[in-house]
Structure 1
Amino acid sequence: MLPEDAFLRKLPNTIDEAQAIKLEGMVFSADAVEFSFNEIKKIALIFGEKIPDAPSSVRTRVFIHA
């Protein structure tokens, strides 16, 4: 979602500290959302329409990532 070399990942020291914290939080949140979405996609590709028959640990992982 956000490339590793994106400017938001390497903020200059001149940015206000409060603003920098907010921006870092947004970047972290975007990374977390992307990770969870990719995990759900992996599980969906493996189980497809048989997700109701998947082990409860798999269904729990889907719920956690959602």
Structure 2
Amino acid sequence: MEKTMKLWVIYLTTPYGKATEIFGVFDSKDKAERARANASSRGHGGARIVERLLNSETLR
């Protein structure tokens, strides 16, 4: 039986919106929102949250 997990990935972005690196991966949308706000205030171009669904095949 496959288990699916929902994760939120935060990507740091350039001022033009291009993702440059992963800032963090979170299992709660609230935690991800707080971390995104923190990342955005650090002087990066910004941060974007992307929701990802992972299953056991993806994790292998």
Higher strand share: 2
TM-score range, shorter chain: 0.3 to 0.5
Q: TM-score, normalised by structure 1?
A: 0.30
Give the number of the structure whose residues are more often helix, by fraction.
Answer: 1
TM-score (norm 2): 0.33
Query: Relative CO higher for 1 or 2, CA cutoff 8 Å, sep ≥ 6?
Result: 2
